[in-house]
A and B are shown apart, each in its own frame.
Chain A
Amino acid sequence: MSAPTLAAREPAKGSGKGSATGSAKGRRAPVRPARVLLHTFLVVTSLAWLAPLLWAMYAALRPYAETSTKGYVSWPDRLNFANFTNAFTQSDMTHYFGNTLIIAVPAVLLTLFLSSMVAFYVSRFDFRVNLSLLLVFTAGNLLPQQVIITPLYRLYLLVDLPGITASGKLYDSALGLVLIHIAFQSGFCAFVLANYMRMLPHELTEAALVDGASVWRMYWQIVLPLCRPAMAALATLLSIWIYNDFFWAIVLISTGENMPITSALNNLSGQYFTDPNLVAAGALLTAIPTLIVYFTLQRQFVSGLTLGASKG
């Protein structure tokens, strides 16, 4: 669970663990070589794990002219960021980052808003439909996207929205992508948030109800503020997932210009990224926002992921 609840429940466990490691340390002193071996193994393996990304970085930093004559496995004469700036400007990446922003920001906010309402309903009241409702949401989120894509594609072509979207349809519009992201991801979020809200003491909402507070106020002013840690974890996770989405946009967007960055990469690599060095630079540039979010909000990301580990 996320930070605050964790801290509240930790002390007993923490001290137990402390004493366990304390005694372990006592015994560990003579077998130091095992630790050295373990560290050696871990260093080698982590480097191996980073190798593909480092290789891409290395290729991206070298001019194409040099690698085409000397080969890619060679000592560099020059390293610079020219490929990065070229990839960025030639393909007008800002435009595609903008597309992603227009899709991801509303999608994340609305997913959290809608799923927290369902979670509130399911977790703070004992209606008979609760369990089935939660089951529908959770199961829906576990389905492979390809199961629903054929009818969804047709549906998006059938829905006419003249004047609302540029394409006049749900198809090929940011609105269409936002809607499917919300519908699909709210399953996971409702599940996680419902579990979180159940842990809040019932007296909280009961007292509010007795005092005459409306259901909406209970949700908005009492329950939601207490869910901030879980919401932060989910927001981090959702941002990365929606940013990284490739499939929905590849199928539901037809105009290359309208694609979010991750999906646009596929077209750009044919049109603008004409050599491997530029492809590497373009791919890495696309990965940068996710990496920034991950490194700054690592804790939220990991806790969100393991919080509702049912996510596929």
Chain B
Amino acid sequence: MSTSDSIPAIPVPGASDVPPPGGTRAPSSPQRRKPPYGHRRLLTRRDRIALGFMAGLPTLLHVALVWVTAFASVALAFTTWDGIGFDSIKWVGLRNFRELFDSNPQFWPAVQHNVIWFVVLIVIPTPLGLFLAVQLDKNIRFTRVYQTAFFLPVVVSLAVTGFVWQLVYNPDTGLINSLIGANKPGHYIDWIGDPDLNLWAVLVAACWRHTGYMMILYLAGLKGVDPSLREASSLDGANEWQTFKNVIFPTLRPTNTIVLVVTIIESLRAFDLVYVFNGGAQGTELLSILVTNNIIGESSRIGYGSAIAVVLLVISLVVIIPYLVGTFRKERRA
């Protein structure tokens, strides 16, 4: 299974010199290396209409609910609005951002927590997932059983994960405090409420889940590694570590890119787990939680909430655009 590298590996028919039906949008690329398939001439008017619907309807829905709203977030970030009539929208320039950066006591902690979230995920569960994948790829017995155990947390919803870890961390009845005897009044460890501890406690749960995800991605990547490479390396007298470092890991490059992007996006999206765990109480604020609390909280401020969303959007686009441009360019070259 060529799996993860199926993204760059599969050739795109690319752009041709034949105009689209109806000749609507601008060409996405001026290249015209591949000969056209030549079946466009056979398309009847009805076919063209059918094709227009087939692509148009899903695009309309996707663009309306995802992209229009994303751009609306950007526009609303520079306004205040009570959400009732459109004429109450007022342009305020950068005021929302200034207020967010200067006087919101939760904003910078949230940014910091999102960054910590990413760093922890990339430093602990990612290498661990890679290590497990390498071990489980060795044709050992029971590999399916092990894989299932590590992957189970990825299948269970984050909300359920939040509840399960609450049972582990609960200061009175939880597993940890019961084991170390910290559930008696006096020497109490509040894993869920203590702002110095709760982020790390919830990160353990996040790592628990992320490891399995990374393991599966790397297992797929390893399946794509040519076995003769490994054989050649061991014939040259390289030991297991040398083979991995000099032969296997470099060929995993496409997987590493995907892992990096997935991990960044996951850290920006982190929400459910924290929301269930302690509602994003002090110590566990995240950008996603601030946006959501602004909507369902008692004082909903549309422009202000959008400003937080824009921060999130800018960070994610910085990651998404280079990744997709790289991926699609590679496809076109293929």
Contacts and interface: CB of A to CB of B under 8 A. Distances in A.
Interface of A: 1, 6, 9, 13, 16-17, 19-21, 23-24, 35, 38-39, 41-42, 45-47, 49-50, 52-53, 55-56, 59, 67, 71-73, 114-115, 117-118, 120-123, 125-140, 142-155, 157, 179-180, 182-184, 186-187, 190, 195, 198-199, 202, 205-206, 209-210, 214-216, 219, 240, 243-247, 250-251, 262-263, 265-266, 269, 276, 279-280, 282-284, 286-287, 290-291, 294, 298, 301-303, 305-312
Contacts of A115: 58
Contacts, number: 375
A114 to B, nearest CB: 4
B179 A283 contact: no
Contacts of B193: none
B327 to A, nearest CB: 8
Chain B interface mostly = helix
A160 to B, nearest CB: 14
A263 B50 CA distance: 39
Interface in B256-288: 258, 261-262, 265-266, 268-269, 271-272, 275-276, 287-288
Given A20-B231, A59-B167, A179-B61, A309 B7 contact: yes
Contact of B54 (A120, A132, A306): A120
19 contacts: A47-B149, A53-B164, A56-B163, A72-B175, A117-B55, A127-B16, A128-B16, A128-B27, A140-B67, A142-B320, A148-B66, A150-B291, A150-B295, A206-B37, A214-B50, A251-B292, A280-B163, A290-B157, A312-B265
Interface in B38-75: 39-40, 42-44, 46-47, 50-51, 54-55, 57-59, 61-70, 72-73
A20 B228 contact: yes
Chain A CB within 10 Å, residue with most, of B47, B63, B310, B323: B47
A20 B320 contact: no
A1 B50 contact: no
B67 A121 contact: no
- Interface range on chain B: under 10, 10 to 19, 20 to 34, or 35 or more? 35 or more
A138 B324 contact: yes
Contacts of A240: 155
B198 interface: no
B295 A251 contact: yes
B158 A149 contact: no
Given A128-B25, A133-B59, A146 B51 contact: no
A205 B43 CA distance: 12
B3 A307 contact: yes
A215 to B, nearest CB: 4
Contacts of A140: 62-63, 66-67, 70
A191 B141 CA distance: 35
Contacts of B152: 49-50, 53, 291, 294
A55 B160 contact: no
B156 A73 contact: no
Contacts of B42: 209-210
A278 to B, nearest CB: 11
Contact of B73 (A23, A151, A190): A151
A223 B79 CA distance: 48
Contact of B6 (A1, A42, A294): A1
Q: Which 7 A-B pairs have the closest CB atoms?
A: A312-B265, A244-B157, A46-B149, A306-B220, A151-B72, A183-B65, A114-B58
Contacts of B291: 146, 149-150
B168 A55 contact: yes
Nearest to A286: B160
Contacts of A152: 65, 69
Given A21-B139, A131-B29, A147-B312, 9 more contacts: A56-B163, A128-B26, A145-B269, A150-B73, A216-B47, A265-B159, A276-B170, A283-B160, A312-B265
